Structures are given as structure tokens and as C-alpha cells.
A and B are shown apart, each in its own frame.
Chain A
Amino acid sequence: MTWIAQNLWLIPVLPLVASGVIAINKQPQRKLAVALSIGSMVLAFLLSLCAFSATLIHHGESGVFREVAGFNWLQFGGQWLQLGWVLDPLTAIMLVMVSFVSLLIFIFSVGYMAHDENFTRFFCFLSLFAAAMLGVVIANNLLLFFVCWEIVGLTSYLLIGFWYHKPSAAAAAKKAFITTRIGDLALLLGMVWLYAKAGTLTFYDGGNGCLEIPTLAKAFPFEGFGFVALTGIALLIFVGAMGKSGQVPLHVWLPDAMEGPTPVSALIHAATMVAAGVFLVARVYPLMKPDWSALAGPHTIVSMPPLDATVVITWVGAITAMFAASIAVAQTDIKRILAYSTVSQLGYMMLGLGVGGVAVGMFHLITHAFFKALLFLGSGSVIHGCHEEQDVRKMGGLKKFMPVTFATYAIGMLALAGFPLFFSGFWSKDEILHSAHNWPVSQIPFYLGCAGALLTAFYMTRQVALVFFGQYRSRACESADHAHSHVLNPPSHDGGYEPHESPAVMTVPLVILAVFAILLGFVGTPAWPWFDGFLKGEPVQFNFSKLTEGGTLGLMLASAGIVFTGLGLGWWLYGKRQRKTVEEPDVLQVAQPAIFRLLENKYFVDEFYDATVVRFNAWAARICNFLDRWIWGGVVLLVTWMTLGLSRLYRFTDEFVVDLGFDTGCETLREGGDEISKWHTGRVQTYLRVIGVALVVLVLFLVWGRKA
């Protein structure tokens, strides 16, 4: 076993320790907090690179390179529960992505959170998050996975509610926590069911793991309902992934999560945490799409393979991709647009996992992590530069003021939109669409994906046009408002109302991410599907002819056409004729008010949930309250009264019956003692006198008694 596989646990433990040390240190020690969290992330990143290179060295050897290590954690019955970690290409690639993106976002946060008084708390939470996320990535046990998964959920809650004094942030944190909890419940049920069936939750254990064919074949026999149970477990686990990854209908928390600080949105709600759900599906992919014929054994012929969970995954992913992209068209908050875009892209990942397999979904996850982190950090830079303004209608013309942010943002936007050939998003999305096109079950997911891609290009163009082109609208209205008071109130210290470019600590991560947003695409092109081969443990050849065969070229052209249509439409509607004022209605709003209203209000999903789930919950709570207060409370009160009455009775008998007699006896005894003690003079001669008198009396009695 390689050294790095043995010591893989160091990667999550380093940020965990950093987080703990920051937590127990005093608040003003900012330098220490920054040094600890960034230092631990650098180390974790270097170790991740080690792990990655270890898998690279062994790549191409027989099958997938996989090393596991574990330790006994808990004994129950005669069995030890083993926790452990696994090093395989999937883990390695996620490790590098998570630690690298986290590192850049940590650096960005130093600049973004500079003015916040709870600076150290922020870094404590960020480090804890990174630790948990890295734990999720390396876990070789569904239980350890779940533990880290829940810590991730906790830190997400803490970070969304970081500005807890804002009621909206507190509500968003609560919403995120509760919504993901619904998914986690299903995940837990799936875990329990899997444990009951397979007897282990370890992923890979030399043939005894719950993802390996021998165990699965034993636990889920072809006869009876074995295969149905397997699909059921897979679906339950997928519901957990849906909650975390914001799939319809559990997507409602993700846009609200943008209440948190922007680096948090970038790190947690775009790049890593929401990807955890996708990663979960990829990790337990042998459950999601089992090799039915291998499970049934050589003697059984599976004439019709049973339905597996990937069908559901595909549909959910496709619907989410389309659904969220359409909402993003009508939003005005710069971060909310990106949030819905994230939901939509997560839908693509699920779609890719469903139709294409692990490599297709994971490739989009990795490329998306980079360009979405780039976009979010870019939006953070914009918000920072515009004095905490998030409404795109009040921005405009920022190209002039923030050139670096604009350039990097444009790269991110083109990558997200899937601009052909030079941007990573094109290759990863194309692969998903290609797989969807070849899906045997239905073509509808493919068309949904195409529509989503069109909308993606459209809304990103709209956003960039509104933010970076035209006039800076906020200044125009403000200067008109403040024209009179300008003499009394000269422009403030940070350059008046003009937006400003962010400091280097914020722009450098943007540039690095932008470079990766471009370059990453080239490891997964159809001509050189290195990523696919890397995950499957197969050698890869460079082959240009792959680009043209099997309809790949036609599909690429089609998706390029879609992207250009979206970009052109967006530019035609929003770029060519810029809005002049903030209040002006949207172009779409003028054209199609009903549809725009529907989209602007996110299909009224929140209202629908308010009217159904939330109201039902409130009613149930009210009933529980009633039961608690009147029924159970009444019983408790009755018992209380009975006890009180009994004790009063006891007290009465004690005081007036038992005590009274006893007291009288005691008093008499004491008085008697008093009387008798008076005889006890202490004078020896008195006693002697008494004895003498008694002697005389005795003698007299004897003498007279004899005579009588």
C-alpha cells in the first residue's frame, strides 16, 4: 500500500485541527486564523496532489487503482464496525478539486471578509466545512460518509446564517437545514436498509464491501424481491443526494442560501457542497446502476434487466436542468441568477450520471466547480465593488471600472454557457448531451437538456449585459437624488459612488480559476477522453477521428448552434438596447407579462410549499400543541394535584397525630429528668448521708421485722 493511501486521513484532519484551534482562540487574532486555515488548506492541497499523482502513477495497470485503509471504530455484538478511507481515481480527482477550490476561496475571503468583525468565526466555519467535505470525499464507509455529510450540512447552516442578525439569513439557514434534512432522512433509511441486507456499509473491502459484486450478489438474490430492494435502496440514497444537490423538488433551499457571504455561496453552494450529492451518486454508482447479469450469476439469464435507479436520476436531472434555467431568466439578484444556474447545472450532472455513467457526471462536476466558483467570486467582487449592491438592474457599465473582474467573469460566463471548443463547459456539457442522445429509454431528457443549454446561454448573456455593459445606473439616479446635498456631503472616502476594482487578494484567485475554466475542458474531449479513462482505469489514446464518428460532430455543431442562439438572443434583447433606468420593466416582461411573472416568482414553488407542506406542518404542530397543553398537560396536572393532596394529608397526620404524642412523651421525660437531676447535688457527703440514713432505716426494719 502506498504511503499516501495509508495517511489519507491527514487531509481532512488538518483543516479540522485548524478549525478547532481557531475556535478556541480569541476573536481579534485574525492573522493566526488566516495562517492556520490557509496553511492547513495548502498542506491538504499538497497531500491531495500526492494522492492524485499516486493514482496517476498506477493508472493503466490492471483495472481501477484502488487502495483502502481502515480501523475498528465501534464494537457491537461480536462485530466491529470499521471506518476507513479509500483512494481511487474518483477520490483523488475530487480531493484535488475540493482542496484547490477551497484554497482559492479562502484566499479570496481574506479580502472579502476584511471588514467583518466575525472574521475568525468565518474562517473557523470555512475550515470545518473543508474538513467535512474532504472527509466525505475520502470516506470508504457509508456511515463515515454520512457523518461527514451531516457536518457539511451543519457548516452550511452556520455559514448561510453567518449574518444571523439579518432575519432573511436566519430563515434561509433554517430552510436549508430542514430541506436537506428531508433528503438525509431518506439517505439514512437507505443506509439502514442496505445494512440490513448486506451487513456492511463499507464501500470497498476486498470483495466484502457493499459496492462489490460478491456481497451484492449474496444480499440481493435474483429470486424474490432482491433486485427490487436494491433499486429501492438506490432510490432512497438518491433522495439524500437530491436534498443536498438541490434537485427538484428539494431545490428551494439553494437560492435562499445566497443570503450567506459570497465566498460561502461560491464554496459551498456552487463548487463543493452541492456537488456532494452528485459525488454520492457517483460513489455508490454500483448500487444505482448494478451489473444485473453479474449479480444474477452465470447460471441465471436475465431476459429483461429490471428498472434501475438511473432512470429516475435521469428524469429528475433533466427536469431540474430545464426548470431552474428557466427561473434564472427572470431573476434580478446577481447571486440568485447564479444560484438557479447552479441548480440547473447540478441537474445536468445528475442527467449525466443517469445516462452516461460516473465519468460523464463527474467531469461536469469538476469543470462546473471551477467556473461556478469563478462566477460566484466574480459576483462577490462585483458586489464588493458596488458597495454591497446585488441588484443587476442597479449595475451596468462595470466593464470600465473593474476590468479584471470583467475579463474573468466573461470567461466563466462563456464556460457556463458552453461556448464551443475553448471552454471547459462546452466539452463537459456536450458529453452529457451526447450521452442523453444515446439513451435508449427516452429522448425527452435530451431535448430538456438542449432547452436548458439554450436558456443557460441566454440568461448568462442577460446577466453579463446588465452588469458589465451600458451605463452605471445606480450612480445616475443617486447623483440626481443627491444633487442638492452634494456640496454639504462630499464624496465618501472610497471614491464616492463609483464602483471600484477589488484588491489583488480577490482578483488573483479569479484569474487562476479562469485559467482552469478554460484548460480543464481539454482533459475530457471526445478526441482524448482522458478523464473517462482515468476513472475507469483504462489507458487512453489520442484519436482525432473520434471527433467525427458516431454523430459526435453533428451533435457538437448542434449544441454550438444552441449556444450561439442563446448568446445572440440574449445580446439582441439586453445588450444592444440597454435599459436606461432602474425602474424600467424587463424586455421579457413587456413581451410576455404572464410567463415573466411565473418565472420571476420561481413557478410559485415556495408559495406552493407554504400552502401545503408548511401549512400542514403548522397544523400538525398546532394539534400537537393542543394535545400537549390540554391532554397530556392535564394528566400531568392531575397527577401533580394528587401528589400535592397526598402530601398535605401526610403532613397533617405527621404534625398533629404522630408528632403531638411523641412531643408530649418527650416533654414529660425531660421534665422528669429535670426533677431527678436536682437530687444529684454533686456533694459526696450528701450521698454518704443518704446511704447512712438508708442503713439506719434498713437496720431498724430488720430489727423490728424480726420482732414482729
Chain B
Amino acid sequence: MTPLQGCLLVSALLFAIGLAGAVTRRNAILALVGIELMLNAANLNFIAFWRYGPNPEALSGMMVVIFSIAIAAAEAAVGLALIIAIYRHYKTANLDEMKNLKG
């Protein structure tokens, strides 16, 4: 097993855990945590492919990941703000009870 495969396995695991968390948790904050996990799995993939790729001197993977982390931070801020707003409105953070978009 090459180090790349190991990294990808960890990353796939991380993604699966994040997805499972995002799908199953009732609490919106925990779902957000799951989403962050999936995001970090993707970051890990970027780093792995860059480190073991054909051109590791070019720092391109690092650049993308730094951008991605910055966006993730912004996204977490927006997401938390949304959750607070929803909580204030519905007096709950339970995702099952937020179904006003039902057709």
C-alpha cells in the first residue's frame, strides 16, 4: 500500500463519517460539523494528490487548500449565523422540524 492510498483511505473514511454525521444528526450544529468534516476530507485529498503527484515543487495543492480553508471558515460563519437566525425564529435547532420548504 502506497502512502497515497493510505491518505486516500483516511480521506474517504473522514468523508464517510462526515456524510453520516450530516445526514443523521438532528441537531443543525452537528450537521454543520459533519459538513466541515467532509470539507476537510476534500482538503486532505488535495494535499495528498499534490504531495505524491508529478509536480510537488509547484505549491499548487497548498494554495488551493489554503483558499478552501478560508472559504470553509467563511462558510462556517455564515452557516452558524443562519442556524442562530433559524433558532431565533423557530425556537429550535432540530432539522426535522424545519420543513417549511415542503411543496
Q: Given A680, A682, A685, which contacts B31 in the complex, CB threshold below 8 Å?
A: A685
Do residues A677 and B103 form an inter-chain contact, with CB atoms below 8 A? yes
Do residues B98 and A680 form an inter-chain contact, with CB atoms below 8 A? no
Bound: A8/B96 CA distance, A: 98
Do residues B99 and A692 form an inter-chain contact, with CB atoms below 8 A? no
Using an 8 Å CB-CB cutoff, how does the interface string of A681-697 with B read, 1 for contact, 0 for none?
Answer: 11111001100100000
What residues of chain A lie closer than 8 Å to B101, measured between beta carbons?
680, 682
Bound: A683/B26 CA distance, A: 11
Do residues A688 and B23 form an inter-chain contact, with CB atoms below 8 A? yes
Q: Given A682, A685, A689, which contacts B102 in the complex, CB threshold below 8 Å?
A: A682
Known A-B contacts A688-B22, A689-B23; the reply to A681 vs B99 at CB < 8 A is yes
Least Cβ–Cβ distance between A366 and chain B, in angstroms: 101
Bound: A682/B103 CA distance, A: 7
Bound: A264/B19 CA distance, A: 111
Bound: A685/B31 CA distance, A: 9
**Closest A residue by C-beta to B96:** A683
Do residues B23 and A680 form an inter-chain contact, with CB atoms below 8 A? no
Using an 8 Å CB-CB cutoff, how does the interface string of B19-47 with A read, 1 for contact, 0 for none?
Answer: 10011100000010000000000000000
What residues of chain A lie closer than 8 Å to B99, measured between beta carbons?
681-683
Least Cβ–Cβ distance between B61 and chain A, in angstroms: 22
Residue B100 is within 8 A (CB to CB) of chain A in the complex: yes
Residue A299 is within 8 A (CB to CB) of chain B in the complex: no
Residue B95 is within 8 A (CB to CB) of chain A in the complex: yes
Q: Which residues of chain A from 654 to 708 have any CB-CB distance to chain B below 8 Å in the complex? A: 676-685, 688-689, 692
Among B96, B98, B99, B103, chain A packs the most CB atoms within 10 A around the CB of B103
Do residues A685 and B22 form an inter-chain contact, with CB atoms below 8 A? yes
A: contact size bracket: 10 to 19
Count of inter-chain pairs, beta carbons less than 8 A: 34
Q: Given B22, B24, B96, B102, which contacts A680 in the complex, CB threshold below 8 Å?
A: B102
B: contact size bracket: 10 to 19
What residues of chain A lie closer than 8 Å to B24, measured between beta carbons?
685
Least Cβ–Cβ distance between B92 and chain A, in angstroms: 14
Among A676, A677, A682, chain B packs the most CB atoms within 10 A around the CB of A682
Do residues A692 and B102 form an inter-chain contact, with CB atoms below 8 A? no
Do residues A678 and B103 form an inter-chain contact, with CB atoms below 8 A? yes
Bound: A680/B95 CA distance, A: 15
What residues of chain B lie closer than 8 Å to A692, measured between beta carbons?
19, 23
Do residues A682 and B19 form an inter-chain contact, with CB atoms below 8 A? no
Bound: A677/B99 CA distance, A: 13
Do residues A681 and B22 form an inter-chain contact, with CB atoms below 8 A? no
Bound: A452/B99 CA distance, A: 115
What residues of chain B lie closer than 8 Å to A689, measured between beta carbons?
23
**Closest B residue by C-beta to A699:** B12
Least Cβ–Cβ distance between A686 and chain B, in angstroms: 9
Bound: A681/B99 CA distance, A: 7
**Closest B residue by C-beta to A684:** B95
Least Cβ–Cβ distance between B88 and chain A, in angstroms: 18
Least Cβ–Cβ distance between B30 and chain A, in angstroms: 11
Least Cβ–Cβ distance between B102 and chain A, in angstroms: 3
**Closest B residue by C-beta to A676:** B103
**Closest B residue by C-beta to A692:** B19
**Closest A residue by C-beta to B25:** A685
Do residues A684 and B98 form an inter-chain contact, with CB atoms below 8 A? yes
Do residues B23 and A685 form an inter-chain contact, with CB atoms below 8 A? yes
Bound: A678/B99 CA distance, A: 12
Least Cβ–Cβ distance between A391 and chain B, in angstroms: 100
Least Cβ–Cβ distance between B11 and chain A, in angstroms: 14
Bound: A680/B99 CA distance, A: 9
Q: Which residues of chain A from 67 to 99 have any CB-CB distance to chain B below 8 Å in the complex? A: none
What residues of chain B lie closer than 8 Å to A685, measured between beta carbons?
22-24, 31, 95-96
Least Cβ–Cβ distance between B29 and chain A, in angstroms: 13
Bound: A678/B103 CA distance, A: 7
**Closest A residue by C-beta to B20:** A692
Bound: A682/B102 CA distance, A: 4
Do residues A682 and B95 form an inter-chain contact, with CB atoms below 8 A? no
Do residues B23 and A683 form an inter-chain contact, with CB atoms below 8 A? no
Q: Which residues of chain B from 72 to 103 have any CB-CB distance to chain A below 8 Å in the complex? A: 95-96, 98-103
What residues of chain B lie closer than 8 Å to A688, measured between beta carbons?
19, 22-23
**Closest B residue by C-beta to A689:** B23
Least Cβ–Cβ distance between B37 and chain A, in angstroms: 13
What residues of chain B lie closer than 8 Å to A677, measured between beta carbons?
103
Least Cβ–Cβ distance between A21 and chain B, in angstroms: 74
**Closest B residue by C-beta to A678:** B103
What residues of chain A lie closer than 8 Å to B23, measured between beta carbons?
685, 688-689, 692
Using an 8 Å CB-CB cutoff, how does the interface string of A43-79 with B read, 1 for contact, 0 for none?
Answer: 0000000000000000000000000000000000000
Do residues B98 and A682 form an inter-chain contact, with CB atoms below 8 A? yes
What residues of chain A lie closer than 8 Å to B95, measured between beta carbons?
683-685
Do residues B102 and A681 form an inter-chain contact, with CB atoms below 8 A? yes
Known A-B contacts A685-B31, A685-B95; the reply to A680 vs B19 at CB < 8 A is no
Q: Which residues of chain A from 335 to 353 have any CB-CB distance to chain B below 8 Å in the complex? A: none
Interface residues of A (CB under 8 A from B): 676-685, 688-689, 692
Identify 23 residue pairs between A and B in the complex whose beta-carbon atoms are under 8 Å apart, listed by A's number.
A676-B103, A677-B103, A678-B103, A679-B103, A680-B101, A681-B99, A681-B102, A682-B98, A682-B100, A682-B101, A682-B103, A683-B95, A683-B98, A684-B95, A684-B98, A685-B22, A685-B23, A685-B31, A685-B95, A688-B22, A689-B23, A692-B19, A692-B23
20 additional A-B pairs beyond A682-B100, A683-B98, A688-B19, beta carbons within 8 Å, are: A676-B103, A677-B103, A679-B103, A680-B102, A680-B103, A681-B99, A681-B102, A682-B99, A682-B101, A682-B102, A682-B103, A683-B96, A683-B99, A685-B22, A685-B24, A685-B95, A688-B22, A688-B23, A689-B23, A692-B23
In the A-B complex, list the 3 residue pairs whose CB atoms are closest, starting with the nearest. A680-B103, A682-B99, A682-B102
